[in-house]
Amino acid sequence: MCSSETGFKYHLAIHIGEKAYRCKVCNTAFYMLSQLKMHLRRAHIGEISFKCDICSGLFFYKQHFEKHLESHIEDGAHKYKCTVCNTALSTEAGLKRHLRSHMEERPFKCTMCSASYYYHENLKWHLVKHTGIKPNNCTVCDATFTRTAELKKHLIYHTGDFPFVCNVCSAGFTEKRNLKIHIRSHTCEKPYKCSKCGKSFSQQAHRNRHFRTHSGQKPFKCNLCGSSFFHRSSLKVHMRNHTGEKPYTCNVCDVAFTQKVHLIPHLRKHAGENPFKCTQCGASFNVESSLKGHLRMHTGEKPFLCTVCGADFYTTSALKRHLLVHANFKQHKCTMNVPKNILLQKDPSNPYKGSYWRKFLQMYSM
């Protein structure tokens, strides 16, 4: 049932599949004349529906404008509090929108693929991707975009004329909110605190993602193997295990990785860089996690406990290796037929006392 005659006409047009109203500028077609008029105003005339009086920000949609206004309201005015993660918002509508982020079900589902969204406007922009229509072309490179706003942001990277610049390091940004977040990396400000464990974050989105580790909510599910994840990014990385995709390649030795975070320490090995140094003994490491594990050797902290025998370890990698013992799993098996007596032979010239490696290499390097 449709509540209005206009809504009924639009509904019928969807069944017929007829898009009778076509844009003469970019050839995009629409079901309704009102949709075409809105498209012309926003895409080609550049009409902006909502303008922020505080920072002059421009917005096409009311819901985006209202969400933006939240950033200008002082903390004391946020009177609507989320009962799940303690986030405070200034309006009841904002709270209702926020609560959807805690829902396991995403009510707005794409009928063409498995994608689903918390908000209807996100689904609408996703559906545009299926049409393949990107009428906004960059005149500098071959990039194309569905929205003029996306093209405008992209062009800034060619011109280098960023409207928002950090006064500490001169980093440039296309949006004021991104500059605001960046400045926290200089001030070390972390205003968003987890109500469960007290851990603080520089961004609200990061705090909300972290909160799922307490609630156990894993809304992002793999449609191939059923694995579920706390974060969308984790699911994206996981899917590469199924596809075999390794988009991050070393420009020195051509080794490829599924994640950029794995490529960076690999490149440091080539460069001989170990930027993470222990202040107690001077040892240095190419990844921060290795330094953290090393520091536990000084403090004696062993937070990773084996649930089978109770043994504790400094790092998760050490615990994982230990668990293989309980599983009687031997991952690395030697395929060479090495005489057992060679293991007992010592070579005084070898820097490793009691080692058999030099004699082993002499016999098996041919």
For 192-259, give the DSSP string: EE-TTT--EESSHHHHHHHHHHHHT---EE-TTT--EESSHHHHHHHHHHHH----EE-TTT--EES-
Check residue 81 and give its pLDDT. Answer: 78
Encode the chain (366 residues) as per-residue pLDDT tens digits. Answer: 555 555 555 555 555 556 777 776 667 777 777 777 677 666 654 555 666 766 666 666 666 777 677 666 554 455 677 777 777 777 777 777 777 777 666 778 888 777 777 777 777 777 777 777 777 888 888 888 877 778 888 888 888 888 888 888 888 888 888 888 888 888 888 888 888 888 888 888 788 788 878 877 787 888 889 888 888 888 888 999 899 998 889 988 989 998 888 888 889 889 888 888 899 898 998 888 888 888 888 998 888 888 888 889 888 888 888 888 887 755 556 665 655 454 444 444 544 444 444 444 444 444
Report the candidate in 77, 97, 100, 101 with the shortest Cα–Cα distance to residue 88.
Answer: 77
CA distance 293 to 320: 14
CA distance 324 to 12: 62
Is the separation of the CB atoms in 174 and 162 below 8 Å? Answer: yes
Longest pairwise C-alpha distance within the chain:
95
Phi, psi of 7 (to 5 degrees): -65, -40
Q: State whether the Cα torsion 265-269-270-273 is positive or negative.
A: positive
Task: List the domain boundaries for the chain.
Answer: 246-326, 339-366
Collapsing DSSP states into helix, strand and coil, what is residue 182? helix
Check residue 352 and give its pLDDT. Answer: 43
Tokens 């509904």 found at: 11
User: What stretches of the chain show up as alpha helix (H) in DSSP?
Assistant: 5-16, 33-39, 62-69, 92-99, 120-131, 148-159, 176-187, 204-215, 232-243, 260-271, 288-299, 316-326, 357-364
Model-wide pTM > 0.85: no
Check residue 132 and give its pLDDT. Answer: 73
Check residue 172 and give its pLDDT. Answer: 86
Is the separation of the CB atoms in 314 and 305 below 8 Å? Answer: no
Nearest 5 degrees, angle CA 97-CA 69-CA 149? 90
CA distance 95 to 84: 11
Class of domain 246-326: alpha beta
